[in-house]
């Protein structure tokens, strides 16, 4: 099982929450998932190898507020015109006309819906830590609670599978110094704590780092992090939200891991949900 991880909102520039999001993909589903997403790119945008992959496929660009405003413009475009016009918008760049830009915006929003649906059809499970940006921070250099909760849910998800199954962690590439810090923190957690040592029996503690724009799994995690940060809310959360992202967030909510923390008698002692809100990182 592969856990692809990305984060959003940690720069505190715009988003009301920090989100550490992971999507869990079975190894035997991964290539079929990748092919389905690439096929969707071609269906919605045409020549994706030449155009779409030259643009950075980041959720904050695909789902920015202006995208929804553009898609809602009162421009009549027939269904069979959408893909060629969207392709033309990518090809023409700054010189694209209004119909091309509106078509591209509509195709982007439909494409993201389709990508989330593809993930659901391939049994992708979502786990995430949604953190209040005002949450108190721990002192020292220990692994943050949002990571601990993420790895906890990944471990219990793996516990539901045959004993031979192991979990591999794949991160979006960070600055080299940040990657070293994260690797060291993970090593201290997985090798230096009793809980971490227990979880390392199923989760390989050394992560892989990849380029997000070249890796479909991390692209899915990026989408999940951004959408959850703006569109997923519990009743106790007071952060502002973007209602236009709620339909996407609802789909991710339905895809979250559902499991339980086993008690001493072997029965479920506490239900676990894949997406957790955290207001204190200490």
State the 10-residue block means of pLDDT for the chain, 282 residues long: 94 88 96 95 79 68 96 97 95 91 97 98 98 89 93 94 94 87 94 95 94 85 97 94 97 94 70 94 88
- Taking the mean position of all CA atoms in its chain, how far away is CA 195? 26
| pLDDT at residue 266 in the model | 65
Q: Which residue has the tokens 């967030």?
A: 249
What phi, psi does 259 have (nearest 5°)? Answer: -155, -155
| pLDDT at residue 42 in the model | 92
| pLDDT at residue 50 in the model | 53
CA-nearest of 134, 131, 116, 171 to 275 is 131
Q: Which residues of 5-17 are buried (b: 16+ CB within 10 A; e: fewer)?
A: bbbbbeeeeebbb
| pLDDT at residue 99 in the model | 97
| pLDDT at residue 230 in the model | 97
| 9: CB partners within 8 A, 6+ apart | 15, 16, 17, 18, 19, 133, 225, 229
User: Could you tell me the two tokens for 253?
Assistant: 């909510």
pTM to 2 decimal places:
0.92
- Taking the mean position of all CA atoms in its chain, how far away is CA 23? 6
SS3 261: strand
| pLDDT at residue 157 in the model | 95
Sequential DSSP letters for 145-163: HHHHHHHHHHHHHHHTS-T
| pLDDT at residue 54 in the model | 52
């Amino acid at each position: 099982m592969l856990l692809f991880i990305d984060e959003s909102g940690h720069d505190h520039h715009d988003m009301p929450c920090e989100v550490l999001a992971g999507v869990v993909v079975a190894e035997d589903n991964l290539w079929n998932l990748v092919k389905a997403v690439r096929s969707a790119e071609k269906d919605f945008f045409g020549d994706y190898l030449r155009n779409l992959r030259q643009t950075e496929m980041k959720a904050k660009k695909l789902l920015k507020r202006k995208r929804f405003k553009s898609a809602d413009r009162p421009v009549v475009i027939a269904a069979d015109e959408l893909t060629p016009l969207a392709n033309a918008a990518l090809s023409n760049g700054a010189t694209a006309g209004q119909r091309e830009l509106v078509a591209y915006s509509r195709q982007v929003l439909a494409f993201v819906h389709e990508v989330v649906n593809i993930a659901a059809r391939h049994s992708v499970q979502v786990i995430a830590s949604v953190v209040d940006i005002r949450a108190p921070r721990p002192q020292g250099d220990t692994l943050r609670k949002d990571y601990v909760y993420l790895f906890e849910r990944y471990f219990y998800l793996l516990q539901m599978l045959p004993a031979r199954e192991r979990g591999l962690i794949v991160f979006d590439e960070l600055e080299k110094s940040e990657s070293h810090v994260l690797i060291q923190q993970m090593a201290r957690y997985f090798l230096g704590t009793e809980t971490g040592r227990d979880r390392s029996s199923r989760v390989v503690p050394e992560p892989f780092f990849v380029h997000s724009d070249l890796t479909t799994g991390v692209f899915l995690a990026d989408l999940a992090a951004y959408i959850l940060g703006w569109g997923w809310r519990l009743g106790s959360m007071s952060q502002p939200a973007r209602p236009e992202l709620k339909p996407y967030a609802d789909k991710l909510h339905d895809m979250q891991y559902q499991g339980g923390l086993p008690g001493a008698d072997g029965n479920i002692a506490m239900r676990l949900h894949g997406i957790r809100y955290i207001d204190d990182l200490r």
